[in-house]
Amino acid sequence: MNIETAQKLIENLGGTEKAKEIIKNCPKECTVYREAIGNIVIKEIPIGVIATALAVLGVDYEQA
């Protein structure tokens, strides 16, 4: 993943702090972050991809 892609992904999630919060609050068995409105999934991103994007940007994060 390049820096531009990582930046776009993190921005799409709501910023660095939001991405760090997602990873921190995700249980160990959680592999995918989903946002939904009712029964309709509007966003689905693997947790590993979020972690990779943060690493590419040089951001430290805490994982549950």
In a domain, 61, yes or no: no
- Whether residue 49 contacts residue 6, with contact meaning beta carbons closer than 8 Å, is answered with no
Phi, psi of 53 (to 5 degrees): -60, -45
Report the pLDDT averaged over residues 30-59.
Answer: 95
In a domain, 40, yes or no: yes
Domain limits at 31? Answer: 3-56
pLDDT digit string, tens, across residues 6-15: 999 999 999 9
In a domain, 62, yes or no: no
The total of structural domains in the chain comes to: 1
DSSP string, 1-45: --HHHHHHHHHHHT-HHHHHHHHHHS-TT--EEEEEETTEEEEEE
41 vs 61, more confident: 41
- What share of the chain in percent tops pLDDT 70? 98
SS3 for 46? strand
In a domain, 64, yes or no: no
